[in-house]
Amino acid sequence: MSTSGISGTTPSSSSTTGTTSSTAITSFTGAANPYTGGDPYADYRTADLPFAALPDLADRRLGGAVIAACDEFFAERENLLQPGPARFDPELFGHKGKIMDGWETRRRRGDHAALPHPSDEDHDWALIRLGVPGVVRGVIVDTAHFRGNHPRAVSLEATHLPGTPSPADLLAGDVQWTVLVPRTPVGGHAANGFRVDAGQSFTHLRLNQHPDGGIARLRVHGEAVPDAAWLAVLGTFDLAALENGGHVEDASDRFYSSPLNTIRPGRPRTMGEGWENRRRRDRGHDWVRYRLTGHAVPRAVEIDTACYKGNAAGWATVSVLDATTGADPADHTTGWTQLLPPTRLQPDTLHRFPLTGAPAATHVRLDVHPDGGIARLRVHGSLTERGTRELALRSGRP
């Protein structure tokens, strides 16, 4: 048991307020074939998941955590949120059996020999704190390498509790839970994807597996909605940061790595943790377009080329646009104001540029010439009154 005083089945006193619309993109059911050698991902079942380009709100690097689980006998609950795909070593065994890269519970049993099977209500659960509150658009329950020991079905619920609630707080009877994914059969060794239509922001999830089994990874894709009250206290903050509600809307190239990396927390440790495009063989250039936390006034910009030494971007420009005027951010020819003229960038360097007289904006575009890697973009500034008001409404705190 992972948390003292927490039972193996979700308490019946917990409240459920309703069910959102959830659609399995491609349905996988049943066990996969036993592993017989070679590439363990050769028979992995997956599908094109349109929401997968959105950030993972439960990302460990954003502060996501599995704060409790009813059981983790075979494999620890924390594995659910590990970055990267699950690994499989067929020779790796421990005192309790096969060591798996995921969350795996023991086999459930009935009460006695006449009823050896678990009841229909029996299930295991884990509580997840999102790294940043947000609106969930899609979920992936990944059962990679759990071929015959995956759950028969899963379900997912969400709630919004401010502050830092404990597992006991979350399991209290007066907590209102919204069903994001109703109880749905899933397949083993597969990326089981679900589209979610939930308009409100959530802070915590409850993942249920029916009746027991193993899940390798949980990905919760959506749009970050930060705490408006906290940002109001800060005053000036990074308007482009993922944890503050910044969002990558589009980019010219994603060949080597995602432009989403440029707004993740901290500095990268390798160039794989930044944005690197392919080498240009034409006369064009590459760019990323960001939506800021809200309507805001930028005050300074940081462009970091950390870890990019022979492949850093050569020059950069930074421009802003205010979409509240009716200007279209997707039109790169109209409505943009250049804040930073073409500026030479140095490899593996943090560049800082104070801004004077910048207009209020909702979007920022970073253009790099002609191509090359960018590790991070920081756009420091403050929300306008309009931006503060609109963010408070989005975060559920008018």
| DSSP for 217-262, written as a single string | EEEEEEEE---HHHHHHH-SEETT-GGGT-EEEEES--SSS-GGGG
Instruction: Indicate the pLDDT class of residue 158, thresholds 50, 70 and 90.
Output: very high
Q: What is the pLDDT of residues 72-109, one digit of tens each?
A: 989 999 999 999 999 999 999 999 999 999 999 998 88
Q: To the nearest 10°, the Cα dihedral for 294, 296, 299, 303?
A: 30
Instruction: Indicate the pLDDT class of residue 5, thresholds 50, 70 and 90.
Output: very low
| DSSP for 307-347, written as a single string | T-SSSB-SEEEEEEE-GGGT--TT-TTSS-EEEEEEEE--T
Average pLDDT over residues 317-325: 98
Residue 33, SS3 per DSSP: coil
Q: Is the predicted pLDDT of residue 165 greater than 80, yes or no?
A: yes
For residue 12, the model assigns a pLDDT of: 41
Q: Is the predicted pLDDT of residue 13 greater than 50, yes or no?
A: no
For residue 9, the model assigns a pLDDT of: 47
For residue 264, the model assigns a pLDDT of: 96
Using CA atoms, how far residue 326 sits from 200, 290, 322, 335, 362, in Å, is 25, 17, 8, 9, 11
Instruction: Indicate the pLDDT class of residue 6, thresholds 50, 70 and 90.
Output: very low
For residue 332, the model assigns a pLDDT of: 94
Nearest residue to 298 via CA among 390, 383, 228: 383
Least confident of 77-81, 226-230, 313-317, 345-349: 226-230
- Compute the half-sphere exposure of residue 282: CA atoms within 13 Å on the CB side of its CA: 4
Q: Is the predicted pLDDT of residue 397 greater than 60, yes or no?
A: no
Q: Is the predicted pLDDT of residue 4 greater than 90, yes or no?
A: no
For residue 199, the model assigns a pLDDT of: 85
Q: ∠189-118-145 over CA atoms, to 5°?
A: 10
- What token pair was written down for 342? 């073409």
The whole-angstrom separation of Cα 238 and Cα 236 is 7
Contacts of 214 (CB under 8 A, 6+ apart): 74, 75, 100, 102, 103, 104, 105, 143, 146, 149, 150, 151
The whole-angstrom separation of Cα 8 and Cα 5 is 10
For residue 19, the model assigns a pLDDT of: 57
- What token pair was written down for 326? 């009716």
For residue 393, the model assigns a pLDDT of: 86
DSSP element (H, E) containing 279 = none
Nearest residue to 222 via CA among 51, 23, 65, 64: 51
Q: What is the pLDDT of residues 103-145, one digit of tens each?
A: 999 988 888 899 899 888 889 999 999 999 999 999 999 999 9
Pairing between strand 361-369 and 97-98? unpaired
DSSP element (H, E) containing 391 = helix 385-394
| DSSP for 124-159, written as a single string | EEEEEEEEEEEEEEEEEEE-TT-SSSS-SEEEEEEE
Q: What is the pLDDT of residues 167-178, one digit of tens each?
A: 999 999 999 999
Nearest residue to 395 via CA among 205, 163, 162, 228: 228
For residue 182, the model assigns a pLDDT of: 96
Taking the mean position of all CA atoms in its chain, how far away is CA 217?
12
Average pLDDT over residues 153-157: 97
Q: What is the pLDDT of residues 187-244, one digit of tens each?
A: 999 999 999 988 899 999 999 999 999 999 999 999 999 999 899 999 999 999 999 9
Contacts of 150 (CB under 8 A, 6+ apart): 31, 143, 186, 187, 188, 189, 213, 214, 215
| DSSP for 71-89, written as a single string | --SSB-GGGGG-SSPPP--
Q: What is the pLDDT of residues 276-309, one digit of tens each?
A: 999 999 999 999 999 999 999 999 999 999 999 9
- What token pair was written down for 171? 């399991």
For residue 8, the model assigns a pLDDT of: 46
The whole-angstrom separation of Cα 12 and Cα 397 is 29
Pairing between strand 176-185 and 15-19? parallel
For residue 110, the model assigns a pLDDT of: 87
Average pLDDT over residues 321-346: 97
